[in-house]
Structure 1
Amino acid sequence: MKELEGKVAYITGGSKGIGYGVAEKLLAAGMKVAISGRTLTTVEKAAKSLGAEDRIMALASDVSKLGDEVKAVQKIMDRWGQLDVVLANAGVGHFSPIDEMSEAEWHQMIDTNLNGVFHTLKASVEALKKSKGYYMTLASLAGTNFFASGAGYNATKFGVVGFTQAAMLDLRKYDIKVSTIMPGSVATHFAGNEPDEKDAWKIQPEDIGELVIDLLKMHPRTLPSKIEVRPTRPDKK
Structure 2
Amino acid sequence: MDLGISGKVALVTGGSAGLGLAAAKSLAREGCDVCVSARDPEKLADAVVELQEFGKVVHAVLADVEDPAAARRVVEETRDVLGPVDILVANAGGPRPGRFDEVGLDDWDAAVQRNLLGMVRLMHAVLPEMRSRGWGRIVTITGRSAREVIDGLALSNAMRTAVAGVVRTLAREVGGEGVLVNNVMPGPIETERLRQLAGDEAALRERGAGVPVGRVGRPEEVGDVVAFLASERASYVNGVSLLVDGGEARVIA
Calculate the TM-score normalised by the size of structure 1. 0.89
2:73 pairs, out of 71, 74, 92, with 71
Deviates more, 1:187-196 or 1:211-220: 187-196
Separation of aligned partners in 1, 2:102 and 2:200: 27
Q: Is the CA contact (8 Å cut-off) linking 1:129 and 1:176 kept in structure 2?
A: yes
Q: Is the CA contact (8 Å cut-off) linking 2:38 and 2:61 kept in structure 1?
A: yes
Tell me how large the CA RMSD over aligned residues is: 2.4
Separation of aligned partners in 2, 1:167 and 1:205: 27
Identical pairs, percent: 23
Task: Report the counterpart of residue 176 of structure 2 in structure 1.
Answer: 173
Task: Report the counterpart of residue 83 of structure 1 in structure 2.
Answer: 85
Task: Report the counterpart of residue 62 of structure 2 in structure 1.
Answer: 60
* Map 1:112-191 → 2, pairs under 5 A: 112-131=114-133, 132-190=135-193
Deviation, 1:93, is 2.5
2:228 pairs, out of 206, 214, 217, with 214
Deviation, 1:221, is 3.8
Q: Is the CA contact (8 Å cut-off) linking 1:129 and 1:175 kept in structure 2?
A: yes
Does residue 225 in structure 1 map to residue 240 in structure 2?
yes
Deviation, 1:195, is 9.2
Deviates more, 1:93-102 or 1:65-74: 93-102
For structure 2, which runs of at least 5 residues remain unmatched after alignment?
209-214
Q: Is the CA contact (8 Å cut-off) linking 1:187 and 1:195 kept in structure 2?
A: no
The one-letter code matched in structure 1 to 2:139 is: M
Separation of aligned partners in 1, 2:71 and 2:29: 25
Aligned residues: 234
Separation of aligned partners in 2, 1:4 and 1:117: 23
Deviation, 1:74, is 0.7
Q: Is the CA contact (8 Å cut-off) linking 2:26 and 2:227 kept in structure 1?
A: yes
Separation of aligned partners in 1, 2:56 and 2:244: 33
Q: Is the CA contact (8 Å cut-off) linking 2:52 and 2:58 kept in structure 1?
A: yes
Deviation, 1:196, is 6.6
Calculate the TM-score normalised by the size of structure 2. 0.84
Runs of 4+ in 1 over 3 A off after TM superposition: 193-200, 221-224
DSSP 3-state at the match of 1:202: coil
Q: Deviations over 1:19-44 (max 9, x none)?
A: 11111111111110111012334312
Deviation, 1:54, is 5.2
Q: How has the CA–CA distance of structure 1 residues 124 and 195 changed in structure 2, closer, same or farther, with 3 Å as cutoff?
A: farther
The one-letter code matched in structure 2 to 1:143 is: A
Q: How has the CA–CA distance of structure 1 residues 46 and 219 changed in structure 2, closer, same or farther, with 3 Å as cutoff?
A: closer
